[in-house]
């Protein structure tokens, strides 16, 4: 009986001590979280990669079929009747096309390392990479198109790393 009482007391103490510690940790995390800590990573899928002489700006968002068709029409290679299939967007999906100004690799390519959502919009972290095919053929102005699911951001910042 005495052992059962001790076991009950220890279990009871462990249960409440564990819960109290967890809730205190949660409270402290909520209280000490700043805007920079509230950034969340965004999953994305690369849809297309190309180079073009057409400048689309640093980024362009296409959240419906009309805008997607317009974007692909701008990027279409005039030598071919249909150079790339237009992707189908499901509910809640949109395309993000980025075309940063190249600083180090004029005939290089870009690689997205991550996309982060913050209160003000998206931050797209990318790096310039060498591409021997682009250099050999003197291709510049790379564009990458990614598919993202979720809310469309109000603003997109490109950050070269």
Residue whose C-alpha is closest to residue 144's, from 66, 8, 45, 49: 49
Residues 73 and 90 reside in one and the same domain: yes
Residues 20 and 64 reside in one and the same domain: no
Low-confidence ranges of the chain (pLDDT < 50): 5, 7, 9, 12-37
pLDDT for 1 equals: 56
pLDDT for 2 equals: 55
pLDDT for 6 equals: 52
Residues 102 and 65 reside in one and the same domain: yes
- Name the pTM for this structure: 0.74
Residues 46 and 82 reside in one and the same domain: yes
Residues 22 and 99 reside in one and the same domain: no
Residues 86 and 118 reside in one and the same domain: yes
The tally of domains found in the chain comes to 2
Residues 6 and 55 reside in one and the same domain: no
pLDDT for 29 equals: 41
pLDDT for 56 equals: 94
pLDDT for 77 equals: 77
Residues 60 and 9 reside in one and the same domain: no
Residue whose C-alpha is closest to residue 95's, from 75, 119, 118: 75
Residues 151 and 105 reside in one and the same domain: yes
Span 75-111, pLDDT tens digits: 987 776 666 889 999 999 999 999 999 999 999 999 9
pLDDT for 23 equals: 39
Return phi, psi of residue 68, to 5°: -65, -45
Residues 130 and 58 reside in one and the same domain: yes
Residues 85 and 143 reside in one and the same domain: yes
Return phi, psi of residue 135, to 5°: -65, -45
Pairing of strands 142-149, 44-51: antiparallel
Residue whose C-alpha is closest to residue 61's, from 99, 114, 101, 91: 99
Q: Quick one: tokens of 19?
A: 């819960």
Residues 76 and 140 reside in one and the same domain: yes
Host domain of residue 22: 2-32
């Amino acid at each position: 009986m005495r052992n059962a009482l001790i076991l009950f007391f220890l279990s009871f103490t462990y249960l409440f001590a564990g819960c109290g510690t967890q809730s205190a940790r949660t409270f402290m995390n909520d209280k000490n979280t700043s805007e920079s800590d509230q950034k969340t990573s965004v999953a994305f899928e690369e849809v297309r990669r190309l180079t073009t002489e057409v400048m689309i700006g640093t980024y362009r968002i296409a959240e419906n079929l009309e805008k997607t068709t317009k974007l692909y029409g701008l990027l279409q290679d005039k030598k071919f009747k249909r150079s790339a299939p237009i992707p189908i967007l499901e509910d809640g999906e949109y395309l993000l096309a980025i075309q940063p100004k190249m600083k180090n690799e004029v005939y290089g390519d870009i690689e997205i390392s991550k996309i982060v959502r913050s209160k003000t919009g998206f931050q797209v972290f990318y790096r310039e990479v060498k591409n021997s095919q682009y250099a050999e053929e003197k291709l510049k102005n790379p564009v990458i198109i990614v598919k993202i699911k979720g809310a469309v951001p109000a603003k997109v910042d490109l950050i070269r790393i």
